[in-house]
Amino acid sequence: MEEKLSRELLSVLDRDVDFLPDKPEETAESTLAALWLTAAGEPTSAAGAVERQLPALDRRQQDELRAMVRRRVAGTPLAHITGRQQFMGIELLTTAEALIPRKETELLGRAAVRQLEKIEQRVDHPVVMDVCTGAGNLAVAMALHCPSCRVHAADLSEDAVALAQKNFVFHGIDGRCRVCTGDLFAAFDDRDVMGKMDLITCNPPYISTARVGEMDHEIHDHEPSLAFDGGAFGIKILHRLIKEAPRYLKESGWLAFEVGLGQGEAMIKRMRKKYSYTEVSPLVDGNGEIRGIIARNGGAK
Ligand SMILES: C[S@@+](CC[C@H](N)C(=O)[O-])C[C@H]1O[C@@H](n2cnc3c(N)ncnc32)[C@H](O)[C@@H]1O
């Protein structure tokens, strides 16, 4: 019976869902596994579900599973149905009020963790900041990979802040991770944090306003535009980030952030020419594209 159900739903998902390139972990198989576990009362992301055994479902759970497949086919993102998304191997809570963490952001996450591991060798309790934190995925990844660090996070969206706080509690790291509501660094205008950060991370909105309206329906209709809209040219927050970050960084602290396709070269030039960053390096993805930048604060210019 369950084998028949599984075959039937797999063929529906395969035929009727357009799987998006920015969620490469989602296939008909991983989607069905994630929905199956969720119907069984064990909500799990697509990436997490493929590693799990699927339990037997009773009649009510089978009906729930069918209803979830219908929602997915109608365009609801998988993570909004399961309430889960994996980031750097970590299961996170997700809601419709914040961006679903993307696989591509793991490039920045891995670079940040690598840098933090180096910082840890000479600083006992590194202090890091994650602005535009969304679900808190980068903050959680850094806190879990570096148990001695403290994290200050912020987002303009109160809903995102509430979700990041839930993720800190979910992973038992709320004692050393705090999250505030504010415009970029505005929540941190106090002496406790200024000039004290070993590392600042940010995955800002970097899509131009015109292009936000052209995004795929699954994204445009279900995720907050605040998470994508980087102003007329997409670079409004990026420019503020590279200008304002040095105030919060230690003299040789690090800034690591994501950029959109085609934005990297100009941003690197700007960081070298207009500001005092040193060791400015691109983070290059598997396609040879610059999708992030990491740089060291070089003091005042
Ligand atoms: C691309 S999402 C990144 C979310 C998360 N860090 C991630 O990697 O999935 C950008 C985030 O920036 C937030 N945001 C937009 N404008 C902002 C601003 N001016 N100040 C702070 N956060 C902002 C959005 O609410 C959203 O959560």
Question: What atom in ligand 1 is closest to the CA of residue 224?
Answer: 25
Residues at CB less than 6 angstroms from ligand 1: 98-99, 101, 105, 131-135, 137-138, 155-157, 160, 183-184, 203-205, 226-227, 237
- Res 43: pLDDT: 98
Q: What is the mean pLDDT of residues 226-230?
A: 96
Q: Nearest CA to 83 among 128, 135, 139, 142?
A: 135
Q: Is the pLDDT of residue 36 over 60?
A: yes
Residues 6+ apart with CB under 8 A from 197: 127, 128, 129, 152, 248, 249, 250, 253
β-strands 127-131, 90-93 pairing: unpaired
Nearest-atom index, ligand 1, CA of 237: 19
Nearest ligand 1 atom to alpha carbon 157 = 25
What are the chain's domains? 2-82 (no CATH), 103-296 (3.40.50.150)
Beta bridge partners of 282: 293
What backbone phi and psi angles, to 5 degrees, belong to 294?
-125, 135
What pLDDT is recorded for position 1? 62
In this predicted structure, the answer to whether residue 299 has a pLDDT above a threshold of 80 is no
Mean pLDDT for 66-74 is: 98
pLDDT tens, 200-214?
Answer: 999 999 999 999 999
Give the integer Cα–Cα distance in Å for 135 and 116: 20
Is pLDDT of 132 > 70? yes
Residue nearest (by alpha carbon) to ligand 1 atom 4: 134
Q: Give the Å distance between the CA of 132 and the centre of ligand 1.
A: 3
Q: Are 94 and 163 in contact (CB under 8 A)?
A: yes
Q: Using CA atoms, how far apart are residues 229 and 264, in angstroms rounded to an integer? A: 17
How long, in residues, is the chain?
301
Residue nearest to atom 26 of ligand 1 (CA): 227
In the predicted model, what is the mean pLDDT of the chain?
A: 96
Q: Are 204 and 239 in contact (CB under 8 A)?
A: no
| pLDDT score, position 129 | 98
Q: Given ligand 1 and candidates 92, 132, 137, which is best to mutate, with the most ligand atoms within 8 Å of its CB?
A: 132
In DSSP notation, 185-243 reads TGGG-STTTTT-EEEEEE----B-HHHHTTS-HHHHTTS-GGGTB--TTS-HHHHHHHH
What ranges in the chain are assigned the alpha helix state H? 2-16, 28-39, 46-49, 59-73, 78-82, 106-120, 137-145, 158-170, 209-212, 217-220, 236-244, 264-273
- In this predicted structure, what is the pLDDT of residue 191? 79
Does the pLDDT value for residue 298 go beyond 90?
Answer: no
Distance 200 CA to ligand 1 centre (A): 14
Q: Which pLDDT band holds residue 192 (cuts at 50, 70, 90)?
A: confident
Task: Please identify which residue in the block is written with the tokens 């100009």.
Answer: 266
What's the CA-to-centroid distance between 98 and ligand 1, angstroms? 8
Answer whether residue 300 shows pLDDT above 60: no
Please check the confidence at residue 112 and state whether its pLDDT lies above 60: yes
**Residue 277: pLDDT over 70:** yes
